[in-house]
Amino acid sequence: MTRAYAGCQGKPVPLLLLINHEGKQTMKLTFATRPSALARWQTQWVINALQNVFPNLICEEKIITTQGDKILDKPLPEIGGKGLFTQELETELLSGSVDCAVHSLKDLPVEAPTGLTIGCIPTRAEVRDALISVRGHTLSTLPTNASIGTSSLRRASQILSLRPDIKTQSLRGNVDTRLRKALDGQYDAIILAGAGLTRLGLDKHVTEWLSLDVMLPAPGQGALAIQCRADDQTSLRLLAALEDESTRKCVTAERAFLQGLGGGCSVPVAAYATVNSEQSSAISLMGLVISEDGKNIVKVTGQGMEALELGKRLANEAIANGASEILKLITVH
């Protein structure tokens, strides 16, 4: 099998056009993926979806361990920085050793590195968070001073706004690791993103699906982002087959809200958008900024036709209502 090459930032990058021993043309994509069961599932889902459209497409995985995978003894806000779960994959993309990288969109920083782009965003999965309690408790029936495990300031803050007696504790690890800690009784309950549980077939353990009135999700939660080089026209054409326009609009508005606030993945900012097809595809967006103790909340809602404009407008509205003061305290902490 022969392979052609093209230059990328002065380095040879494999083209997708291959010639097999029978002289037939095939295509190949190499995907970067993290080692967790969820990351592998998501990458395989993308590969299977692409191969259903392009039967001659050959796909392979390259497993890459990120900083967020290595440092498991500290809460995410303490590690700090952007791209804890994505930077190493992006480096592989820029080097040309892989063609695409599959991310949970909520983990992807809003500012893309020069030379990279989000090639496609497929249809979004479950956006809600889920509570799991080995004793069958819901958020309202948990005993006073119960412990809830979560790795997210956004979740912890929203919990405390409803149940200030709850003790939130750091919970790190892959989805199966965190679930095992809950089922072992190390916490009275834990909260995880519902999309990961459903993708891994673990949603049978969910005690309560938290409504959006109780727990607003992280920007981009439930959506996948397949990243590639911005000048890789072949990958872009292939990935376009999985693009979902409505999901792209919604998550773009949510991430524009986050970016307008100057926040990263670990700040207590939540956002959720929907597209109303009955109103000329207008986008409805709800955004939230909340203090760590859950006592100070800035909540904004609005509609618009342009996702970026809507997100930025609501971010400015939130700032005018005191969001910056809340986030400054988070940064100092």
Residues labelled as active-site residues: 107
Are 308 and 283 in contact by the 8 Å Cβ rule? The answer is no
What single-letter DSSP state applies at residue 113?
A: P
Q: At what angle do helices 307-320 and 323-332 cross, to 10 degrees?
A: 80
Tokens of residue 212, six digits: 């959006």
Tokens of residue 63, six digits: 């497993």
Residue ranges of E strands in the chain: 2-8, 11-19, 25-33, 57-63, 100-104, 116-120, 129-132, 147-149, 167-169, 189-193, 208-209, 224-229, 269-276, 282-290, 297-304
Nearest to 118 by CA among 223, 273, 17, 254: 223
Tell me the DSSP string of 134-182: TT---TTTSPTT-EEE-S-HHHHHHHHHH-TT-EEE---S-HHHHHHHH
Q: Strand, helix or coil at 195?
A: helix
Backbone angles phi, psi at 240, to 5 degrees: -60, -25
Nearest to 53 by CA among 315, 311, 238, 251: 238
